Structures are given as C-alpha cells and as structure tokens.
Amino acid sequence: MAKSGVVEAAGRPVFKKAKVPTTHTGLVRQARKINRALAEVYPYAHPELDFTNPFELLVATVLSAQTTDLRVNQTTPALFAKYPTPAAMAAANPEELEEIIRPTGFFRAKAKSLLGLSAALRDRFDGEVPGRLEDLVTLPGVGRKTANVVLGNAFGVPGITVDTHFGRLARRFGWTESDDPVKVEQEVGELIPKSEWTMLSHRVVFHGRRICHSRRPACGACPIAELCPSYGEGEIDPVKAEKLLKYEKGGQPGQRLQPPADYPGAAAEPLNGKG
C-alpha cells in the first residue's frame, strides 16, 4: 500500500511535493519532523574532520575552507605531528607550514591564519582554545561557522553550522529564504530546540553530501522525499537516483581516515596511500 502523498508509477513510488507551511507553528512541526527523520537515516552523523582535541578541530576547520574534509584529513596527520600545540605552530617557519598544508588550497592565506590564531592562543588564552563564541571569533581566520563547529563538537555547546550544504537544504526544506549564513542560523534556530542544533547540523550536512546534492539531487533515492517541499528538483527515477548516491550511501569510503566506531562505511585512504 502506498503511503499518504505517494502514487505508484510503473511499480515505483512517486511522491507529491510537500507544501511549505504558511504558519510558524506549522513550519516548526514540519522542521522537527524532518529533523527526526534525518536522525533515523543518519544515526551515526558526526563531524567529518579527524581531531583529538579542540586545537586540532579548530585548525582542521580553518583548513576546510574551499576544499573537502577528506583532503584536510589527509593533510593534518603530518601537520599535527610537527606542530601539536599552539606554541609549536606559532613558532613554525611560514614556508614549511605552507608546504605541509598546500594540498588544501589557498595555503598562503590559511598559513597566515594558522600562525595568527596559534599566536593568539599562546599569548591571550594560555595556549588553550577558548570555549566561548565571543572569544573564538576574535582569532584570525575564525568566523561564526568555524566557532560553532568547535563549540558544538569540542565543548558540547549547541550551535548551528551554516555551510553551503546546510544553507542549500535549509532553503529547499522551506526553513528560510535567506542566503545570509547568520540569518539562516537565526531562522533555523527558531524552529529546532537548541539541544538539537549541533546534531541537526551534522544530519543536514550528511544528507546534503550524500543525497541532496547541489546540481543533481537524488530525489528518487531520498528516504525523506515525502517530507520535502523541493522533491522533484533532482532525479526522481529510483534506479538512476541510486547511482548518484555518495560516500557510504553509495558504497564508497567516507571522508575521515579515523571514523567513529558506529560509522557504517569504510574509512578514507591516506594521501597518496601513505600512512
């Protein structure tokens, strides 16, 4: 029997596009239903940057701009082996630092940020990463997105991380119409309980990377299609959509070299296959 809002076409389910609620209360209910559905699809959602302490997460997040988490994860083992603390990184030779992080792109600008934030941590915060947003955003190269990543995943402070994936899906779900990350963060935060903000960020980003892609969403393989107001923007044929799935959903390795124990996919390979 087909679900409500589902019709059968050639033996395959074709969903009717969900409507964006016209009231705030309706939007809250729909957003929380989508969050619960994503929690069932991605019970293993996690930050996709490898780290063992707040400093490593901060550095990795700065490096993740304009590149993939996989490339960052392939680069940071050598980086942290040589510069394990803010004091060590602050004293780094700029050219040597640039060479190590070159694979992540924009390496000169990123090296400048890493040197600056490391010196600031050494000089202003006793070599420790602060656990307050207002302090984190004073560090070179650190904005609200990076600060929320660090707070949510290293300190347990709830935060919404608005990257390109999160912003895209928030608009597709009808949670916001804005392209401004700060406004998206504010508007989505009004729909979802604060205690869920960090995990919501992981779930939405996971979904955006694996299924709800930018150019060609895999609508026909989407497990929350019946809840989505943007269903049909991508490939609705289940067979064709299945081929668009990425990472563990597509039977491919994830982005972490050291994924959590409950991750159902394979670990990524080191850079050039070197451990």
Express each pLDDT in 58-82 by its tens digit.
Answer: 999 999 999 999 999 999 999 999 9
Nearest residue to 129 via CA among 76, 86, 90: 86
Which amino acid is it at 57?
A: L
Residue 252 CA to residue 233 CA, distance in Å, equals 24
CA angle 50/219/212 to nearest 5° reads 25
CB-based contact 219:236 (threshold 8 Å): yes
The residue length of the chain stands at 275
Q: Among candidates 44, 47, 50, 45, which has minimal Cα distance to 271?
A: 50
Do β-strands 6-9 and 12-15 pair in parallel, antiparallel, or remain unpaired?
A: antiparallel
* Average pLDDT along the chain, 275 residues, taken 10 residues at a time: 44 72 96 98 98 98 96 98 98 98 97 98 98 97 96 97 97 97 97 98 98 97 97 96 98 96 96 62
Structure tokens that stand for 150 in this block: 């660090």
> Which residues form the catalytic set?
145, 163
pLDDT, tens digit, for every residue of 197-238? 999 999 999 999 999 999 999 999 999 999 999 999 999 999
Sign of CA dihedral 63, 69, 74, 80: positive
Q: Which two tokens stand for residue 133?
A: 């947003």
pLDDT at 40: 98
pLDDT of residue 7: 46
DSSP string, the chain: -PPTTEEEETTEEEEPPPPPPSSHHHHHHHHHHHHHHHHHH-TT---SS--SSHHHHHHHHHHTTTS-HHHHHHHHHHHHHH--SHHHHHTS-HHHHHHHHGGGS-HHHHHHHHHHHHHHHHHHSTTS--S-HHHHTTSTT--HHHHHHHHHHHS--------HHHHHHHHHTTS-----HHHHHHHHHTTS-GGGHHHHHHHHHHHHHHTS-SSS--GGG-TTGGG-TTTTSS---HHHHHTT--GGGGT---S-SS--TT--SPPPPPGGG--
